[in-house]
A and B are shown apart, each in its own frame.
Chain A
Amino acid sequence: MIRPNTADTTTPMVWLQGVTKHYGTVVALDEIDLEVRRSEFLTLLGPSGSGKTTILNLISGMVGPTAGRIWIDGKDITEMPPNKRGLGMVFQNYALMPHMTVFENIAFPLRVRKLKSGVIKTKVAEVLDLVRLPEVARRKPSELSGGQQQRIAIARCLVYNPSIILMDEPLGALDKKLREEMQLELKRLHASLDITAIYVTHDQEEALTMSDRIVLLNDGQIEQMGTPDDLYFHPRSLFSAEFLGDSNILSGNIEEAGPTVTISTAVGQCRCSRACGFAESGTPVKIMVRPENVFILPPGTSDEHLNKVPARMVDTITFGGVIKSYLQLADGSSMVVQELTRAGQSVPEAGSEVYVAWSSEDTIILPVEGRIEIPAPPS
């Protein structure tokens, strides 16, 4: 198979057109429209049960949609059996054949394609070099560690040059250090091989590190779609804000709309100088600010541009490179402040009265329910 590099780049590599999937009475996917661009690394992110694995199974052909069409590279493949789709898939539990050696495992897709044994030998050797495990060809998968098994699973996928690789939480079973190593490894392979990758994970950090674009799913629907920056800095719903990164949330009402929006909350007024879709005063909203954008001010300091509310220190925890302070506001709600640790840093003691402050630019206004329908700023 030759990868269609010369094909036009405007056709999406994968297109889910109004796809719905029901399992009995459960709605796993509710009329999803999703385009995956050629050569991009797209992550399907969401809590369990949000429909991300269902999307993968629909693309691979393991299940069929209840309604809608699925297109790959401009062809309608909704009815095509999985073995004709020419995709690659990496499973969370690796799915290596336990009765075959590593060599035979990787040779499997080539034998299916009836390649000559000489060709198979060179191809397997090449791909084993690519995943940096040239010495394990004659071993059984059970003799390898989890990380090595996953690399073999990836090699088995790369060996037949599928234009699309589907990955279902491939690093989920590995420990943290190995997972981070493998994330970089996957990024390297994706960049050097020009493949379209569709990656499923429930780990937001992993999604932020690896993706060109993230599709955030919630309850069978697309909550938000965009670059990691988009999702992190311009969440369009409470769900997005809370799922990606840490967030401090306050409730309030719009007091004054305009270029700078003023919101009244139980702990005082806040201003937001970001564009948002709320014009009507009196609308109940939520405001969100990331912990790393909040800082603690000793009492007495003042700054016009800052939102400033009184707070009481509750606890401080150092996480290596960062230090998190937990504070309580006047109305009982809590706020987390995250700062970089420096040697000799002093933090106010627990119980002391301080101010927490953040800039109006870092204040994000979100609807109480649903999502803002304005497009996120182009990235």
Chain B
Amino acid sequence: MADSNLRRVETLGGLPPARGTVWVAWFMFFFLIAPSLIIIPMSFGDLNEIYFPPRSLSLFLYREYFFESVWMETTFQSIKVAILSTMAGMFLGATAAYGIVRATFRGKKMLGALLLSPLFVPNIVIALGLYIYFARMGLQGTTFCLVLGHTLFVTPFVMVVVMAALRGVDPNLEAAAKTMGAGRIYTFRRVTLPLLRPALVTGGLFAFLMSFDELVISFFLSGFGTQTLPVKMYDSIVLEISPVLSAISVLLTLLAFVICVIITIFYNPDRRTRLRLTGEAETETKTTET
């Protein structure tokens, strides 16, 4: 695997990295990931305090998390908000991306920048704005306003991924489908959508993770009974420093890790071209024979 990767770098005209560079890269990687790794042994501690290294190993803290109703309630609330805002974000993000990439109209670039702006505005600013806004409308503290806030937050992520993928979809494919008699909807369903599927899966998972982990907006918008897991965790740090936090942190890291692995598998933009290149090389010889 590593060997074939090196060969790929070389065919692209680059050089394999020097040995020293590799070591520095690994060091930086461990330096950055160490805090997350330290949490893992701590999460297997058995006392009602955060301590490193743990004196004995047990699943006490995990049991605490899974059987304490407050933690489960906030977890389900987070899942609910994440799923709803992901669905809304995927719909809005994908359709907006399609319009921005395919359509031609005045002010297209401006609109694109505007739609992506939540990426650049600090979360605290969005959160404060939404808080004041929803409070005026009397919606602050409801799950509905949490979902709206998170939708605003995740939509640009979906948009970016889908826009990139859509730029890679040859517009001639849609033109070809239309000349063959397919209408707009048929073309979108049978040609564009299947080609965008990897991007949609990636964007969706990404959006889910972003929403599930989100603290600042949730902190401002949630109220009694609508707290999400990160908000509850924050509260517990401030109020009680519960050692259960380390177990939850491990689980969250695991979730992020699993989603990242799935994304890497699904979203590999050059996998298709690589297949095509090797396929072409193999079959070229065959055609000259026939």
Select from chain B the residue with minimum beta-carbon distance to A86. B181
Contacts of B195 in A (CB 8 A): 97-99
Known: A147-B287, A148-B287, A178-B287. A83 touches B170 (CB 8 A): no
Determine how close the nearest CB of chain B comes to the CB of A359; give it in whole angstroms.
44
B181 touches A160 (CB 8 A): yes
Among B178, B186, B275, B279, which residue has the most Cβ atoms of chain A within 10 A? B178
Which residues between 84 and 142 of chain B lie within 8 Å of chain A, taking CB atoms? none
Contacts of B172 in A (CB 8 A): 91, 93, 95
Select from chain A the residue with minimum beta-carbon distance to B287. A145
We find that the number of chain B residues with CB closer than 8 angstroms to chain A is 28
Contacts of A148 in B (CB 8 A): 283, 287
Interface string of A65-83 (1 = CB under 8 A from B): 0000000000000000111
Contacts of B180 in A (CB 8 A): 83, 88, 108-109, 112, 156, 160
Q: Is A237 an interface residue (CB 8 A)?
A: no
Give Cα distance in the complex from A85 to B183, angstroms: 12
Contacts of A99 in B (CB 8 A): 194-195
Which residues between 129 and 178 of chain B lie within 8 Å of chain A, taking CB atoms? 170, 172-173, 175-178
A83 touches B173 (CB 8 A): no
Give Cα distance in the complex from A156 to B181, angstroms: 12
Determine how close the nearest CB of chain A comes to the CB of B83; give it in whole angstroms.
27
Select from chain A the residue with minimum beta-carbon distance to B279. A143
Interface string of A81-107 (1 = CB under 8 A from B): 111111111010101011100000000
Q: Is A188 an interface residue (CB 8 A)?
A: no
A60 touches B170 (CB 8 A): no
Select from chain B the residue with minimum beta-carbon distance to A178. B287
A112 touches B176 (CB 8 A): no
A88 touches B283 (CB 8 A): no
Partner of B170, one of A62, A82, A88, A95: A95
Q: Is B3 an interface residue (CB 8 A)?
A: no
Give Cα distance in the complex from A69 to B151, angstroms: 47
Q: Is A193 an interface residue (CB 8 A)?
A: no
B181 touches A142 (CB 8 A): no
Determine how close the nearest CB of chain B comes to the CB of A133; give it in whole angstroms.
9
Contacts of B173 in A (CB 8 A): 95, 97
Give Cα distance in the complex from A85 to B181, angstroms: 8
Q: Is A113 an interface residue (CB 8 A)?
A: yes
Contacts of B170 in A (CB 8 A): 93, 95
We find that the number of chain A residues with CB closer than 8 angstroms to chain B is 35
Q: Is B240 an interface residue (CB 8 A)?
A: no
Give Cα distance in the complex from A365 to B256, angstroms: 78
Interface string of B186-219 (1 = CB under 8 A from A): 1000110011000000000000000000000000
Q: Is A146 an interface residue (CB 8 A)?
A: yes
Contacts of A109 in B (CB 8 A): 180-182
Contacts of B287 in A (CB 8 A): 145, 147-148, 178
Q: Is A350 an interface residue (CB 8 A)?
A: no
Determine how close the nearest CB of chain B comes to the CB of A15; give it in whole angstroms.
19
Q: Is A144 an interface residue (CB 8 A)?
A: yes
Which residues between 113 and 137 of chain A lie within 8 Å of chain B, taking CB atoms? 113, 132
Known: A93-B170, A112-B181, A112-B182. A145 touches B284 (CB 8 A): yes
Determine how close the nearest CB of chain A comes to the CB of B253; give it in whole angstroms.
34
Q: Is B179 an interface residue (CB 8 A)?
A: yes
Give Cα distance in the complex from A85 to B180, angstroms: 9
Give Cα distance in the complex from A236 to B214, angstroms: 73
B179 touches A144 (CB 8 A): no
Known: A95-B172, A147-B287. A85 touches B179 (CB 8 A): yes
Q: Is B272 an interface residue (CB 8 A)?
A: yes
Q: Is B7 an interface residue (CB 8 A)?
A: no
Select from chain B the residue with minimum beta-carbon distance to A90. B176
Contacts of A87 in B (CB 8 A): 179
Among A86, A140, A142, A147, which residue has the most Cβ atoms of chain B within 10 A? A142
Select from chain A the residue with minimum beta-carbon distance to B290. A132
B181 touches A62 (CB 8 A): no
Contacts of A60 in B (CB 8 A): 175, 179
Contacts of B186 in A (CB 8 A): 112
Give Cα distance in the complex from A93 to B175, angstroms: 12
Q: List 28 A-B contacts (CB under 8 A).
A: A82-B175, A82-B179, A83-B178, A83-B182, A84-B181, A85-B179, A86-B181, A89-B176, A91-B172, A93-B172, A95-B173, A95-B175, A95-B176, A98-B195, A108-B177, A108-B180, A108-B182, A109-B181, A109-B182, A112-B181, A140-B279, A142-B272, A142-B279, A145-B280, A145-B284, A146-B280, A148-B287, A178-B287
A residues whose Cβ falls under 8 Å from a Cβ of B: 60-62, 81-89, 91, 93, 95, 97-99, 108-109, 112-113, 132, 140, 142-148, 156, 160, 166, 178
B residues whose Cβ falls under 8 Å from a Cβ of A: 170, 172-173, 175-183, 186, 190-191, 194-195, 272, 275-276, 279-280, 282-284, 286-287, 290
Given contacts A95-B175, A99-B194, A108-B177, 5 further A-B contacts (CB under 8 A): A60-B175, A82-B178, A91-B176, A97-B177, A140-B279
